[in-house]
Amino acid sequence: MTMTETAGARGALCATHEDDEIASLDALALSRAFSNRELSPVEVAGSLLDRIERLNPQVNAIVHLDREKTLEMARAAERRYISGSVLSPLDGVPVTVKDLSSIAGWPRRRGSLAFDGLSPCAEDTSCVARLREAGAVFLGKTATPDSGCKVVTRSAAHGVTLNPFDLTKTPGGSSGGASAALAMGFGPLAVGSDGAGSIRIPASLTNVFGLKPGFGRVPAFPPDIDMPHSVVGPMSRSVQDAAAMLAVMSRSEPRDAFAWPVPFCVPDDLADPDLRELVVAFSPRMGCRAPLEDHEVDELVLEAIPLLTGAGVRVLAEDPVWPVDPVEPFRIFWDTVCMATVDGFTQEKRSLLDPTILKAAEAGRMVSVSAYQSAMEQRLKITAASRAFFNRFDLLVCPVVATAAWPVEYDVPEGFAADDWRWCPYTFPWNMTGQPAASVPIGVTSEGLPVGVQIVGPWGGEENVLRAAAAIERRRHP
């Protein structure tokens, strides 16, 4: 067996298991290996399932496996390669799916004791359906906190997910199971979701790439009541893999009234982007109040600038100017969505929900119609201010989160209340504006903990976000 392509899976634990070369291959390398008959989808799926069974107890990233269903999908992909009827570049490639998304025939617990964790779902979530149509092989469901309600991955249903770089630290959340699985080599691709930073924060804390697409780029059905905040997006160990995954996930869904009518096209220069046409703003505080600061994180984020200028980017230091503090309206939206979540359950089931949701729901009940309308108006002003900013800049570079991974026993960094969003002001504004934003690995702290840098684009700007991320990746990890 010849392995001609590798993409360093940078998780600390996965790097200790040299017996499994398959785990280090990225999605597009696997696709080429399948086409060249160097590997088979069945061989890869079986190897990764064995790896998960062996190593998952160390991190608790995968919460559901169905070996036979996975191997059945892999066998179907293998037949397509043999017959020359390959469906897409992701045909036969293993994908994990965050357990907030449905897979037909698989259970979905959403990290919650209030959900039935045994009954199979009747149909795929839209992005899962697109991946199935492209021939992707579903490898397992990844852990999430109850209904995605935290920035760590801990639930009464599945326990605590740990960071592969340091088992005493969190991988973040709510897509922490997805990020930990990638770092452990449990497949090259992962479906994540992001309503306040839930793709970008865990990507930053575990040294993987994560993209929050703009609202409507990846169709959703049934619609999420948290529109436009919450979207589904790709997570991977390379930018090119994420771009290929986004191209599939963003395919048309006629039932989504907000889906973009213009298809996403993978940029043709991701291998070595020439970014001389781009003007990029660099903002180390993003115009926000920052009660949490870390000198090492600041220095690592700053290191993205020479990498981008090396690709031709013109970088200017400038902060966005917000008409109001984004945390104020966001807190209202968060609390009222939690209230709606709680109200969707019977009184008996509500007692099984995470206390974080119940506390936020109580705050949501105190929000008047007038206050909610004011928050809506503030969101419109914030979005207009962002549009004005991106009329002058093609991209914004800033932190993802002002800390590396924190101790796993805390829901948020020590010194902050669990419901205090001020400690991480760099992610949720872009959920309110509906713009694309990504976390790309930039380095590690003196303790060996990963840090990502955030790249934000205007509406419809996923291509340039990916190109800038690829430029950083190529120069940082040649």
Task: Please pick, among 24, 198, 283, 439, the residue that the annotation labels catalytic.
Answer: 198
Residue in this structure with the two tokens 């119609």, named with its chain if needed: 369
- Apex CA 434: angle with CA 431 and CA 439, to 5°? 60
Q: Given 3-state DSSP classes, what are the helix, strand and coil percentages for the chain, each rounded to the nearest 5?
A: 40, 15, 45
Radius of gyration of the chain (CA): 21
Q: 141 near 108, Cβ under 8 Å?
A: yes
98 is a catalytic site residue: yes
Q: Which of 98, 141, 169, 212 is catalytic?
A: 98
Dihedral of CA 368/373/376/378: which sign? Answer: negative
Place of tokens 């021939």: 135
Closest CA to 393 of 470, 306, 456: 456
Identified catalytic residue from 174, 204, 238, 386: 174
- Largest CA-CA distance found in the chain, in angstroms, rounded: 66
Token pair listed for 348: 């008996």
DSSP result, 235-269: EESSHHHHHHHHHHHTS--TT-TT--SSPP---TT
Q: Which is it for strands 137-142 and 94-98: parallel, antiparallel or unpaired?
A: parallel
Q: Is-catalytic flag, 212?
A: no
Q: Can you say whether the dihedral through the CA atoms of 475, 209, 436, 421 is positive or negative? A: negative
Q: Which amino acid is at 120?
A: P
Half-sphere exposure of 320 (CA within 13 A, CB side): 34
Task: Report the alpha-carbon distance of residue 233 to residue 245 in Å, rounded.
Answer: 9
Angle of helix 67-83 versus helix 27-35 axis, rounded to 10: 50
Token reading at 51: 């790896």
Place of tokens 């917000």: 322
Catalytic machinery residues: 98, 174, 198
